[in-house]
Amino acid sequence: MRKPASFYFFKSKPIVLKDRYEQWRGVADLLGFTTQERLRVEWMVFYYTAAKEKVTLTAQHFGISRKTFHKWFKRFKDSKYNVRSLADRSRAPHRKRRWEVTLIQEERIRHLRKRYPYYGKKKLKVLYEKEYSEDISTWKIERVIRRYKLYPDQNKAERTARKRARARQKPKKRITQLVKEGRPCFLFQLDTIVIYWNSLKRYILTAVDHATKLGYARMYKNKSSRSAADFLYRLRYLVGQPIENLQTDNGSEFAWEFERATAKLGIQRYFSRVKTPKDNPEIERFNQTLEYEWLYNSNLSLDPEELNPRLTEWLVEYNFNRPHQTLDYLAPVEYIVRIPLIPAGDYDHSGHPS
């Protein structure tokens, strides 16, 4: 018996087309949209479906302004509903700065730099104008030095460039980003006092509470991150409660093992700005008090085992008996005892209950 022709072929299945909203989402997936760009696609889908083409309802649902929605909707509509129009556009300027150093200036700068490899751009500017009777900016000189890598120590310059590149990838949180509160243990400032004695060096790590002025210090033979981590664990044991934030400078002792210790204790870190002592005035003042009222008053010793017990005795005097002007002439521990149990946020920035 002869079989029908349909037996030898697969039956055709109807092609189910997605609705246009699913198509928009599919195009966003293919284009690799970011989270924010995908959200704009959802604005348009919601506007045409649930909101029934009502701008106010769409803006309220997504927590955006009507102006923002109109801006993106106009761009989407003008492109004839092309999903690419919802992607971020480049913010680069249309006209970028061009290389403004002439070939003659370039050769002159290179010649001067080779003659004086250790002179900076400002000194080279003076020599250039004297020798060639032509004005030139320090920026042009710096650009030529960078372009041809005219550094006296090439390896050092490359290390510095790599270090700066790493810093840009992981920017540090500066203390100016933190809103300081007057609660005990909200912010501790840490620093290092370096003692030079002939060929020896000793290091005293110091800490002070921003609000209560409670101080702590300990001497170490080296300035390693392990010593700083040990100091932090001792400080945490001393205060007997969680420390919320730490402020340090950019010293190497506050890296590696110290960073792991802060992560383990759940402490947020902030960094002082370079060459800006006004960022950490409390610890600068504490260091000065320690040095002039005790350390250089016939108490200096280069043996940590001998100095640390005597330093602890002075810290007891400092924290329990010494009046502080900023605390209304109370000692730090007296001030802590008198602070009522007030919830976080009910203190002013000076450390007093509001």
Residue 347 has pLDDT above 70, yes or no: no
Q: Are 209 and 319 in contact (CB under 8 A)?
A: no
Residues 6+ away with beta carbon under 8 Å from 272:
174, 175, 247, 248, 249, 250, 279, 280
CATH topology of domain 175-338: Nucleotidyltransferase; domain 5 (3.30.420)
Domain ranges of the chain: 20-86, 103-169, 175-338
| Structure confidence at residue 161 (pLDDT) | 87
Look at residues 279, 266, 248, 325 and name the one whose alpha carbon lies nearest to residue 180: 279
CA dihedral 282, 288, 294, 299 (to 10 degrees): 120
Q: Is the pLDDT higher at 346 or at 24?
A: 24
Q: What is the pLDDT of residues 148-187, one digit of tens each?
A: 999 999 899 889 888 888 888 888 899 999 999 889 999 9
Residue 352 has pLDDT above 70, yes or no: no
Q: Is the pLDDT higher at 85 or at 351?
A: 85
| Structure confidence at residue 99 (pLDDT) | 83
Q: What is the pLDDT of residues 193-202, one digit of tens each?
A: 999 988 899 9
pTM over 0.85: no
Residues 6+ away with beta carbon under 8 Å from 233:
261, 265
Residue 342 has pLDDT above 60, yes or no: no
From residue 100, alpha-carbon distances to 125, 143, 296 in Å are 16, 10, 57
Amino acid at the residue 301: S
CA atoms of 38 and 48, how far apart (whole Å): 16
- % residues pLDDT > 90 (the chain): 74
Neighbour tally for 255: CB within 10 Å? 14
